[in-house]
A and B are shown apart, each in its own frame.
Chain A
């Protein structure tokens, strides 16, 4: 194979890695939107908090002398998911539930306030500087002709793919098979009717915030290990990207969010291959505007019908 095609293959691998984490965050947006029809503005901050908790747990456990990496990662995962879910639940409880039923603008503004609050809360408690963790999962797998271009897949990338795949399968099974999952689907069809049928919709809405936050925390764990750096402002851009992914796939649709995340990740990596990397954010955003212009319902979404 030629150098260019190997280079593009490498970018594809990188793009799928980033894209799968975007997909995880995007599911949180899409699930909340599917049920209450609102964007969870604080979602990016939940992801950021997940990243911080990961670092705190890993550094703490290593400081206590634990050496087994899998054990450390599993503990970090559990703690990050629990804490991020608690934050997700609190956001719903404080910024959304008391305002349900009022003008659409009002919960939106309170959620933005929540997002600003959480970001600055982390700035104050953890400092605004970058915090770096040396790579934990090292090594990789190389192939291709070393004299032309060597394509490498690191074990970290494989870990991200595996973790994303398992999470997605788990979520799909939960949504399609369990009682709670059925209640979730019912709520996104018709919230009022589901309530009449005796399902505690408040509980289901809280549940979607918790699931979204848990997925964001998993993404936070994976991406923070991948990049090795975290600061209080990562949630802003990550949230924007994931939202773009959710809209790209069709907001409200879970398979759409997965697809959208992968497409966005690959597009970004391909842009970074040919242009300065600062412009990849510009590309993601332009993609969002183009989708809204030509196909507002996204790739897998249903067109919205306005009812009086």
Chain B
């Protein structure tokens, strides 16, 4: 062990001490009008000491640790799949099996888990939408939740003021979100990617501020409640029909009323929407426009010299991503029956981005898996809920350092020469 290593470790430990001593070691507290400080408890100091020791020793033995970690294979769930040719025959069966399971499954489990599954499906939709923007087109969108909010409020307002049904509002919400995406993307997409990140970040905030303050229309911080639920060809899922002449679902079929019908119905709509989104994106990816997104992400200058219009291509990806969020938003509003600006804060954007990054940018299967993990894990580990965002942030840094292509890297059909 060389001397420089030792100094390095001392230095790292010292830095950790500076980082931790004031921010963790001393806590500010208001006592009446005066500000007072409280020292940390002995236990907290113990944790700080432990952290410093970990940093010290990991720096001291960094080469040994690196060597040890080098031996652990990096997780590549994509490689566990069977080969491509086998995959081609298996794939339709696999998809059919998954769809059938998704359709039968809700009738066998509790209401709570179906509800959680519906929430997961919303995140899958959002993840898939952001995946077009970030994963395929390589545009960093930090205000994705704004389009989600636009979709949700479009449905809520149209249903409240004009009495439009969910099914009529679904395309309108998507179109509205797409319009916002178009207007926002137009000035910004001509510029370098970092500007887009900040502008979308600002846009997300602005939408929230507007929703909060434009009380006359949006209801301000108290939001909009009593949003109409979706109906099945006019059949409602309430105990009694809300409108004159309507028949509730259970009376129509002549069965007893159960509140879980509504939950299962919402779940099935979500499944339908997700399948629709997956289908559309899959088609688009194989079309020239989809190829152009990826080409532009990989080498912008080459694409331009081949005659691709970069603004139009980026704008199409951005708008499509936004419209998917609008889609998810209007479903979200219908499911909750109540929306307020609280549901559309920056943290939501960060969670959706974390889903895309964890799953593997561009990879649909990865994004779906990541969305499932990211919504179900917090439910399982409720006692750690305050650490959730901290871990998301850490996860994003670690993923970028360790495995930027995600857990299930995107795979294209390709031929390889055998050596």
Which of A's residues lie within 8 Å of B, judged by CB? 33, 38-39, 41, 49, 52-53, 55-60, 63, 79, 82-83, 86-87, 89-90, 94-95, 98-99, 102-110, 112-127, 131-134, 236-237, 240, 243-244, 247, 276, 278-279, 281-282, 285, 288-289, 292-293, 296, 304, 306, 308
Contacts and interface: CB of A to CB of B under 8 A. Distances in A.
Given A134-B33, A281-B209, A49 B23 contact: yes
Given A112-B353, A126-B28, A292 B395 contact: no
B199 to A, nearest CB: 6
B46 interface: no
Contacts of B30: 131-132
Interface in B28-78: 28-30, 33-37
B168 interface: no
B35 A116 contact: no
A109 B28 contact: no
Q: Which 10 A-B pairs have the closest CB atoms?
A: A113-B396, A117-B393, A116-B393, A110-B400, A293-B187, A120-B390, A113-B397, A285-B202, A59-B35, A120-B389
A294 B29 CA distance: 47
Given A105-B138, A127-B27, A285-B202, 4 more contacts: A104-B194, A106-B400, A116-B350, A289-B184
9 contacts: A110-B401, A114-B397, A120-B390, A122-B23, A124-B387, A132-B30, A285-B199, A292-B195, A296-B195
Nearest to A115: B393
Contacts of B213: 276, 278-279
Contacts of A114: 393, 397
A291 to B, nearest CB: 10
B265 interface: no
A106 B404 CA distance: 7
Given A110-B397, A122-B23, A134 B35 contact: yes
Interface stretch (B14-22, B230-238, B241-249, B365-373): B14-22
Given A121-B23, A282-B210, A243 B35 contact: no
Contacts of A281: 205-206, 209
A285 B208 CA distance: 13
Interface of B: 15, 18-19, 22-24, 26-30, 33-37, 134, 138, 140, 142, 184, 187-188, 190-195, 197-199, 201-203, 205-206, 209-210, 212-213, 301, 346, 350, 353, 357, 361, 386-387, 389-390, 392-397, 399-401, 404
Contacts of A293: 187
Contacts of A79: 22
B36 A63 contact: yes
A237 B205 contact: yes
B185 to A, nearest CB: 11
Contact of A289 (B199, B350, B353, B387): B199
A114 B396 CA distance: 8
Task: Find the residue from A39, A53, A244, A304 having the highest chain B CB count within 10 A.
Answer: A39
Contacts of A123: 389
Contacts of B399: 113
A246 to B, nearest CB: 10
Nearest to A41: B197
Contacts of A131: 28-30, 35
A107 B19 CA distance: 22
A59 B404 contact: no
Nearest to B196: A292
Question: Interface SS of chain A: helix, strand, loop or mixed?
Answer: helix
Nearest to A82: B18
A192 to B, nearest CB: 18
Contact of B357 (A53, A109, A296): A109
Contact of B397 (A102, A117, A292): A117
B22 A53 contact: yes
B28 A285 contact: no
A233 B194 CA distance: 22
Contacts of B34: 134
B188 A289 contact: yes
Nearest to A285: B202
A285 B15 contact: no
Nearest to A108: B140
Contacts of B24: 125
Nearest to A282: B206
Contacts of A86: 15, 18-19
Given A94-B397, A110-B401, A293-B187, A126 B27 contact: yes
A66 B397 CA distance: 41
A112 B142 contact: yes
B283 to A, nearest CB: 25
Contacts of B190: 296
A285 B206 contact: yes
Given A59-B36, A134-B34, A288 B209 contact: no
B396 A116 contact: yes
Nearest to B17: A86
A39 B389 CA distance: 22
A56 B350 contact: no
Contacts of B192: 304
A98 B213 CA distance: 43
B44 to A, nearest CB: 9
Contact of A117 (B33, B36, B212, B390): B390
Nearest to B388: A120
Contacts of A39: 194, 197-198
Given A38-B194, A79-B22, A103 B201 contact: no
A44 to B, nearest CB: 10
B400 A83 contact: no
Task: Find the residue from B36, B134, B387, B393 having the highest chain A CB count within 10 A.
Answer: B393
Nearest to B354: A113
Contact of A292 (B187, B361, B390, B401): B187
Given A105-B193, A116-B392, A63 B210 contact: no
Contacts of B35: 55, 58-59, 131-134
Task: Find the residue from A102, A240, A289 having the highest chain B CB count within 10 A.
Answer: A289
B205 A240 contact: yes
A17 B213 CA distance: 26
Contacts of B138: 105
Contacts of B390: 116-117, 120-121, 124
B26 A56 contact: yes
B140 A240 contact: no
A111 to B, nearest CB: 8
A90 B16 CA distance: 9
Contacts of B15: 86, 89-90
Given A86-B19, A281-B205, A112 B350 contact: yes
A292 B140 contact: no
